[in-house]
Amino acid sequence: MTQNKIGSVMVVGGGIAGMQSALDLADAGYYVYLVEKGPSIGGVMAQLDKTFPTNDCAM
């Protein structure tokens, strides 16, 4: 492993999974590049209506 480590992380994908990773890392002291191929983040979850079991709006 390299000696010149860099304290930043790239997260590829801005859906619920990518966003969670990005938030955890940024809050833990790492700079995050969140790369999303679409024009906005949110992924498929943003298209869902309600989610089990809370019936929260997925948005």
Partner 1 sequence: MNIEIITLAEIQDISGEAGNFSVDVLKHPRYIDEDKCIACGVCAEKCPKKITDTYNAGLSKRKAAYVEYPQAVPLKYVIDQDNCIYLQKGKCGVCKKKCPVDAVDFDQKPENRTVNVGSVILAPGFEPFSPESFENYQYAKHPNVITSLEFERLLSASGPTQGHVTRPSDNEEPKKIAWFQCVGSRDMNRCDNAYCSSVCCMYAIKEAVIAKEHAGDDLDCAIFFMDMRTHGKDFERFYDNAREKSGVRFIRSRVHTVTPVPGSDDLELRFVTEDGTLKTEVFDMIVLSVGMQTPKALVDLSKKLGISLSAGNFADTETFSPVATSRPGIFVSGAFQGPKDIPQAVVDSSAASAAAAELLADVRNTCTKEKEIVPEVNVLGDRPKIGVLICQCGTNIAGVVDVPKVVDYAATLPYVELATDKLFACSQDAQDNMVELIKEKGLNRIVIAACTPKTHEPLFQDTLTAAGLNKYLFEMTNIRNQDSWVHKNNPEMATEKAKDLVRMAVSKVALQEPLKEVQLPVNQTAMVVGGGIAGMAAAKSLSEQGYETHLVEKGNCLGGQARQLFMTAKGESIQKKLAEMITAVEADKRIHLHLDTELSHVDGFVGNFETTLSSNGNETTLEHGVAVLATGASPHKTSEYGYGTDERIITSLDLDKKLMDDDPSLTTLNGAVFIQCVGSREPERMYCSRICCTHSIENAIQLKEKNPDMNVYILYRDIRTYGEKELLYKKARQLGVIFIRYSLENKPVVKADKDQLTVHVMDHILNMPLELNVDMVTLATAIIPNTDEKLSNFFKVATNADGFFIEKHAKLGPSEFSTDGVYLCGLAHYPKPIDESIAQAKAAVARAVTLLAKQTIFSSGTVAMVDPMLCAACGVCVSICPYSAPKFTEEGRFEGKAEVNPALCKGCGLCVASCRSGAIHLKGFDTDQILTQIFEMDEAV
CA within 13 Å, CB half, 20: 5
Which residues from 13-32 bind partner 1, rule CB under 8 A?
13-32
Min dist CB 11 to partner 1, Å, is 5
Q: Quick check: helix, strand or coil at residue 13?
A: coil
Report residue 1 as tokens: 């492993």
Min dist CB 7 to partner 1, Å, is 4
Min dist CB 10 to partner 1, Å, is 5
- Separation between Cα atoms, residue 18 and residue 15, nearest integer Å: 5
Residues that bind partner 1 (CB under 8 A): 1-2, 4-57, 59
